[in-house]
Chains A and B, each alone.
Chain A
């Protein structure tokens, strides 16, 4: 093929085949991440240039098969069938060749050129596997390239054969006499049928024989027998199995035949790493303690590494940035209300969100680590019995765990579950899992009211959320979701050390998403809050729009121990995003803050920013190694700007009512974004309404029990 061409490459493969690392290795910084149209399954793509050929890479979701039973499979299939890429790059896990070839056989049915990357080839070699590439290539009629994407090995040959093979039709695989003649019959029947123009005829014939419901629906076939009648009749007589199973068996027979012709194990390692690890991790007695330890470690690392940077960002925004913005506005003689809007509304509001980037980034880093290393599947394996009790799949543990980072991706990740019932039930429990945005509220209150036990107090809130989620799961299972619990079938992939670069890319994507969300939604919210606090202009905050509403709901909150207009107003603004509770309190109480006159020195400020960043790095590093309990939270430096807020809180709350307030923040209606995600995912305002009601009543009851119960036993 000569230069100046343009080709589209679809990258397909099983989950855990190293596809995502391979895409990163091929695309590097040109990688873009988005969503598949209309759905929220991640879509990676990149535009490359190889020797004058423009290559457009599209990553398909990882699937075991192309049956239309999960969202991922439908996306992958629709893309291959409708968009007709020029070539498919089939990524195979060389250590798991036979099962991966089952998908390969299905890809070959599509009539699209294919190139195979035998990925994770180094690991296969370490296991003593020998794969005969020449025979492999010969039998399938496609190029087969060994790759080690973690070391970028084989990438150049891969691009080379991709460009060179766009016109190379793979060898047709023979499905046995009976099936082949049935396929022939159907192909003849559909030959001139206009409903099917644009489909690859062999693939279509196979799908019609399988009675593929999704295809029948999308092509509008009502009477299947007129297309497959005679062929099906013959097959049914010759075999006592349904045709779909016969075809699956045939594909596996081909995969297995191919596997046995190309595969040889030259030596057997004594015991494989995965088995060694699983002996401990999945041990009858150690499994659960290890699981608890892993969860604890994730937390410890997240906070110890993230927190010093939280302090640093807060310092930069609250200090130099606010100072310089103020000086700039004064220089252009901006009106007083405008200065207040910018400094107290925009900068303070957005700043209040930006400070949580480090914690979200570290949380995502470690959660992705758990996922990419293979431990997440073990966690699901260990937790399934318990999840099953509350009517859920062990996998539902994953969205719930992700919920600790942010409920929004977590609602979307309920997609990994198969039935709507499962997704919905999981999504209803997700808001009870304490997300990162609630942490600032706990941090503020816990450091003010429980300075010595801040870490334990915060941990108790997380645990309370989990306990209530389990309880509500149980309640839902026996009320709204009485239908049969779904099946559980899940691969336990081999343990692998994920590359730091891939983890960073993933964390970066999450952070970017969060910042974009912060930059738009939260900015708008901050401005709206500033206006509702300051309108009508000139009145005290208590008489402002928000203050009045806060006052109106105060009596309802009275029995919970925080019946003040300030608390009410903060909780109201928390509907927008829970971290806004803190910034609203900041704004409400910052009226008392005295004006600071500081010297403007650009170089001096820049130096201070760099120096404080250095000490944050140091603190993160030493916090990581020095102590082995979660003291990082309480020992983070006191920020100047928060002092007056903290003093005022001491007047309005007691430790008991502060705890009750934190419990309420933990459980009440998640942010608007979560509701939006909920609506998007389940397409039902009815369920959104249900969430709002259920998450207003539940927190009230629990906070009531905490506060009144605490008073009964003499606390507060």
Chain B
């Protein structure tokens, strides 16, 4: 599953980040790391971007990039 398909309120674990170079570094600098827990908080009124909680703070990113982040549901 990828992050863009997670339901609002669900918490997942990041398995793999399918990004490269500068973009990947940028995401990692913001705390998007493999093994990190992410909660999907909200979807913007117009359907995009998403709001997630990661490392105890709120971050927004577009579905487009979220779809490149592989996640797994927390049991």
Q: Which residues of A contact B (CB under 8 A)?
A: 64-65, 67, 69, 96, 98-99, 102, 244-245, 248-249, 252, 274, 278, 282-285, 287-288, 377, 381-382, 384-386, 388, 394, 487-494
Cα distance A230–B51 when bound, in Å? 42
Q: What would be 24 A-B contacts, judged by CB atoms less than 8 Å apart?
A: A67-B25, A69-B22, A69-B26, A96-B56, A98-B31, A98-B56, A102-B29, A102-B31, A278-B42, A284-B43, A287-B44, A288-B46, A384-B49, A384-B60, A388-B48, A388-B62, A487-B26, A488-B49, A488-B60, A488-B62, A488-B65, A490-B59, A491-B60, A494-B58
> How many Cβ-Cβ contacts under 8 Å join chain A to chain B?
104
Q: In the complex, are the beta carbons of A487 and B58 less than 8 A apart?
A: no
Given A67-B26, A381-B44, A490-B61, list of 5 further CB < 8 A pairs? A102-B31, A245-B25, A487-B65, A488-B49, A493-B58
Closest-CB distance, B60 to chain A (whole angstroms): 5
Q: In the complex, are the beta carbons of B45 and A99 less than 8 A apart?
A: no
Q: In the complex, are the beta carbons of B29 and A384 less than 8 A apart?
A: no
Chain A, Cβ-Cβ closest to B50: A381
Q: Mark B29-65, 1 if CB is under 8 A from A, else 0.
A: 1110110000000111111110100011111111011
Within 8 Å CB of B1, what residues of A?
none
Q: In the complex, are the beta carbons of A492 and B51 less than 8 A apart?
A: yes
Closest-CB distance, A600 to chain B (whole angstroms): 62
Cα distance A69–B22 when bound, in Å? 7
Within 8 Å CB of A274, what residues of B?
58
Q: In the complex, are the beta carbons of B31 and A69 less than 8 A apart?
A: no
Q: In the complex, are the beta carbons of A248 and B29 less than 8 A apart?
A: yes
Closest-CB distance, A593 to chain B (whole angstroms): 53
Within 8 Å CB of A489, what residues of B?
26-27, 30, 59-61, 65
- A-B pairs with lowest CB-CB distance, top 4: A385-B46, A287-B45, A65-B29, A492-B58
Chain A, Cβ-Cβ closest to B33: A252
Q: In the complex, are the beta carbons of A248 and B23 less than 8 A apart?
A: no
Within 8 Å CB of B23, what residues of A?
487
Q: In the complex, are the beta carbons of A382 and B55 less than 8 A apart?
A: no
Q: In the complex, are the beta carbons of A99 and B44 less than 8 A apart?
A: no
Cα distance A385–B24 when bound, in Å? 22
Chain A, Cβ-Cβ closest to B54: A99
Closest-CB distance, B34 to chain A (whole angstroms): 8
Within 8 Å CB of A492, what residues of B?
51, 58-60
Cα distance A249–B33 when bound, in Å? 7
Cα distance A235–B50 when bound, in Å? 35
Closest-CB distance, B75 to chain A (whole angstroms): 22
Q: Mark B1-27, 1 if CB is under 8 A from A, else 0.
A: 000000000000000000000111111
Cα distance A67–B27 when bound, in Å? 12
Cα distance A489–B26 when bound, in Å? 9
Chain A, Cβ-Cβ closest to B29: A65
Given A69-B25, A487-B62, A489-B60, decide whether A99 and B31 contact each other with a Cβ distance below 8 A: yes
Cα distance A21–B51 when bound, in Å? 27
Chain A, Cβ-Cβ closest to B31: A99
Cα distance A535–B67 when bound, in Å? 67
Q: Which of A248, A385, A491 contacts B58 (CB 8 A)?
A: A491
Q: In the complex, are the beta carbons of A245 and B24 less than 8 A apart?
A: yes
Candidate in B30, B45, B61 with the most chain A CB atoms within 10 angstroms: B45
Q: In the complex, are the beta carbons of B58 and A382 less than 8 A apart?
A: no
Cα distance A98–B27 when bound, in Å? 16
Chain B, Cβ-Cβ closest to A100: B57
Cα distance A64–B54 when bound, in Å? 14
Q: In the complex, are the beta carbons of B46 and A386 less than 8 A apart?
A: yes
Q: In the complex, are the beta carbons of A96 and B42 less than 8 A apart?
A: no
Candidate in B24, B27, B61, B62 with the most chain A CB atoms within 10 angstroms: B62
Cα distance A57–B46 when bound, in Å? 44
Cα distance A394–B61 when bound, in Å? 10
Within 8 Å CB of A96, what residues of B?
56-57
Cα distance A284–B50 when bound, in Å? 12
Given A99-B57, A491-B30, decide whether A384 and B51 contact each other with a Cβ distance below 8 A: no
Q: In the complex, are the beta carbons of A490 and B29 less than 8 A apart?
A: no
Cα distance A284–B55 when bound, in Å? 25
Cα distance A653–B30 when bound, in Å? 57
Within 8 Å CB of B49, what residues of A?
381, 384-385, 394, 488
Within 8 Å CB of A490, what residues of B?
59-61
Within 8 Å CB of B48, what residues of A?
384-385, 388
Cα distance A65–B32 when bound, in Å? 13
Q: In the complex, are the beta carbons of A385 and B47 less than 8 A apart?
A: yes
Within 8 Å CB of B26, what residues of A?
67, 69, 487, 489
Chain B, Cβ-Cβ closest to A290: B45
Closest-CB distance, A691 to chain B (whole angstroms): 29
Cα distance A65–B55 when bound, in Å? 15
Q: In the complex, are the beta carbons of A244 and B25 less than 8 A apart?
A: yes
Chain A, Cβ-Cβ closest to B25: A67
Cα distance A248–B23 when bound, in Å? 13
Cα distance A83–B27 when bound, in Å? 29
Cα distance A154–B60 when bound, in Å? 33
Cα distance A29–B27 when bound, in Å? 39
Cα distance A704–B57 when bound, in Å? 51
Cα distance A492–B58 when bound, in Å? 5
Within 8 Å CB of A487, what residues of B?
23, 26, 61-62, 64-65
Within 8 Å CB of A65, what residues of B?
29
Within 8 Å CB of B25, what residues of A?
67, 69, 244-245, 248
Q: In the complex, are the beta carbons of B45 and A288 less than 8 A apart?
A: yes
Cα distance A356–B59 when bound, in Å? 38
Q: Which of B34, B45, B57, B61 contacts A488 (CB 8 A)?
A: B61
Within 8 Å CB of B58, what residues of A?
274, 491-494
Cα distance A65–B51 when bound, in Å? 21
Cα distance A274–B56 when bound, in Å? 13
Within 8 Å CB of B59, what residues of A?
489-492
Q: Which of A69, A102, A382, A394 contacts B45 (CB 8 A)?
A: A382
Within 8 Å CB of A288, what residues of B?
45-46
Within 8 Å CB of B46, what residues of A?
288, 382, 384-386
Q: In the complex, are the beta carbons of A384 and B56 less than 8 A apart?
A: no
Q: In the complex, are the beta carbons of B42 and A64 less than 8 A apart?
A: no
Within 8 Å CB of B55, what residues of A?
98-99
Q: Which of B28, B60, B61 contacts A245 (CB 8 A)?
A: B28
Within 8 Å CB of A278, what residues of B?
42
Closest-CB distance, A384 to chain B (whole angstroms): 5
Q: In the complex, are the beta carbons of B61 and A282 less than 8 A apart?
A: no
